[in-house]
């Protein structure tokens, strides 16, 4: 009886898991399905690469890809430096007003940039950064979340390491980059995964900032493409475009799911 119940519960959870997977399975299925069959309800094994080819030729997805890559790498590269520096100050240095500065950084988590789309646009206009990739990136160059994550990691690094280096005459600046920074790799990787997936997926902000193909990331490109093809007959093409956009992160996730999930968990521990 107990065994039966256990099997029954497992069956339920698997059934729900399969239900959850349907949208993804469906995207893959439709993306490779010939256009002529896209509205038929029958299930068959006809498949084709025409849709993907059509998408690739119809819209500058290569440019979008490049832009997204530049944006996510650019943001994270700058974040690594700003976050490491600030986290070290919070973890290992005594200075006046530490608590207040810490609270000041909390404001960024309380009021995220996402809800400030309108004033953020005004600031970017004042800085003449509208319709530039730098404009998409710059509001995210400082990250309170990253600082808090790195600070927690820095505090676990034994202080003797630093003292030993100091005895040998290393400056704090050197110690930061030669001892702390390399030792923080796991925390940086976690933060990196969260940062990259966030900015890979970000939509409204780049939509507001950009106005030209040269600067648009994948998400904005996909939205424009889907808008242009909003009729039933274009389903296969839209799903093919969707698949193209989601594939890189999704494949990364499938291979490194444990790392991904742990990173998201650690980003939530405040």
Partner 1 sequence: MAGSLGKRWRSEVFAWGLLAPSLLFLAVFTFYPIWITGVQSFYTKNLAVREPVFAGADNYSQLFSDSLFHKVLINNFWYMLGTVPGALALGLIFALFANRALKLRGFVRVSFFYPNVIPMIALANVWLFIYTPEYGLLSRLTDMIGAGHTAWLGSEKWVMPALVVMMVWKEAGYFMIFYLAGLQNIPNDLYEAAQVDGVGKWRVFWRITFPLLMPTTLFVLVVALTNAFKTIDQLFIMTQGGPNNASNLLLYYIYQQAFSYWDFGAAAAATIVMIAFMLLITVLQFVGMDRKIHYR
Backbone angles phi, psi at 188, to 5 degrees: -65, -40
Closer CB to partner 1, 165 or 207, in the complex = 207
Q: Which of residues 23-52 bind partner 1 (CB under 8 A)?
A: 23-24, 26-27, 30, 39, 41
Task: Check residue 245 for interaction with partner 1 (CB under 8 A).
Answer: yes
Candidates 2, 4, 110, 159: give the one binding partner 1 (CB under 8 A): 110
Rounded to an integer, what distance in angstroms lies between the CA atom of residue 98 and that of residue 104? 10
Candidates 35, 48, 152, 197: give the one binding partner 1 (CB under 8 A): 197
Candidates 58, 77, 111, 161: give the one binding partner 1 (CB under 8 A): 111
Task: Check residue 150 for interaction with partner 1 (CB under 8 A).
Answer: no
Task: Using CB under 8 A, count the residues that bind partner 1.
Answer: 93
Candidates 7, 14, 103, 186: give the one binding partner 1 (CB under 8 A): 14
Task: Check residue 88 for interaction with partner 1 (CB under 8 A).
Answer: yes
Say if residues 246 and 28 touch (Cβ distance below 8 Å). no
Task: Check residue 121 for interaction with partner 1 (CB under 8 A).
Answer: yes
Least distance to partner 1 from the beta carbon of 185, Å?
20
Say if residues 165 and 179 touch (Cβ distance below 8 Å). yes
The window from 50-58, 154-162, 181-189, 197-205 that contacts partner 1 (CB under 8 A) reads: 197-205
DSSP readout, the chain? Answer: -HHHHHHHHHHHHHHHHHHHHHHHHHHHHHHTS-GGGTT--S------SHHHHHHHHHS-HHHHHHHHHHHHHHHHHHHHHHHHHHHHHHHH---TTHHHHHHHHHHHHHS-GGGGHHHHHHHHHHTT-TTSHHHHHGGGSS-HHHHHHHHHHHHTS-HHHHHHHHHTT--HHHHIIIIIHHHTHHHHHHHHHHHHHHHHH--HHHHHH--SGGG--HHHHHHHHHHHT-SGGGHHHHHHHHHHHHHHHHHHHHHSHHHHHHHHHHHH--
Rounded to an integer, what distance in angstroms lies between the CA atom of residue 62 and that of residue 55? 11
Task: Check residue 189 for interaction with partner 1 (CB under 8 A).
Answer: no
Candidates 7, 58, 103, 104: give the one binding partner 1 (CB under 8 A): 104
Candidates 61, 76, 180, 200: give the one binding partner 1 (CB under 8 A): 200
Task: Check residue 7 for interaction with partner 1 (CB under 8 A).
Answer: no
Candidates 75, 86, 188, 209: give the one binding partner 1 (CB under 8 A): 86
Task: Check residue 72 for interaction with partner 1 (CB under 8 A).
Answer: no
The window from 53-61, 153-161, 177-185, 258-266 that contacts partner 1 (CB under 8 A) reads: 258-266
Q: Which of residues 130-149 bind partner 1 (CB under 8 A)?
A: 138-144, 147
């Amino acid at each position: 009886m107990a065994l039966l119940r256990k099997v029954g519960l497992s069956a339920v959870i698997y059934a729900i898991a399969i239900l959850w997977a349907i949208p993804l399975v469906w995207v893959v299925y439709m993306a490779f399905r010939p256009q002529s069959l896209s509205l038929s309800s029958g299930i068959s094994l006809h498949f084709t690469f025409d849709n993907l080819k059509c998408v690739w030729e119809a819209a500058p997805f290569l440019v979008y890809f490049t832009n997204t890559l530049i944006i996510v790498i650019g943001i994270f590269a700058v974040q690594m430096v700003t976050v490491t520096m600030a986290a070290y100050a919070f973890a290992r240095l005594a200075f006046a007003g530490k608590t207040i500065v810490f609270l000041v950084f909390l404001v960024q988590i309380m009021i995220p940039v996402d809800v400030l789309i309108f004033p953020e646009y005004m600031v970017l206009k004042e800085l003449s950064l509208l319709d530039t990739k730098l404009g998409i990136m710059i509001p995210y160059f400082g990250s309170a979340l990253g600082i808090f994550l790195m600070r927690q990691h820095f505090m676990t690094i034994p202080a003797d390491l630093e003292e030993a280096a100091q005895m040998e005459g290393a400056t704090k600046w050197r110690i930061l980059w030669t001892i702390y920074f390399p030792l923080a790799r796991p925390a940086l990787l976690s933060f990196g995964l969260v940062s990259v997936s966030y900015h890979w997926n970000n939509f409204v902000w780049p939509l507001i900032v950009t106005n030209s193909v040269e600067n648009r990331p994948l998400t904005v490109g996909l939205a424009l493409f889907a808008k242009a093809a909003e009729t039933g007959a274009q389903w296969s093409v839209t799903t093919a475009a969707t698949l193209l956009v989601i594939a890189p992160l999704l494949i990364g996730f499938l291979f490194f799911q444990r790392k991904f999930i742990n990173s998201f968990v650690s980003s939530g521990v405040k």
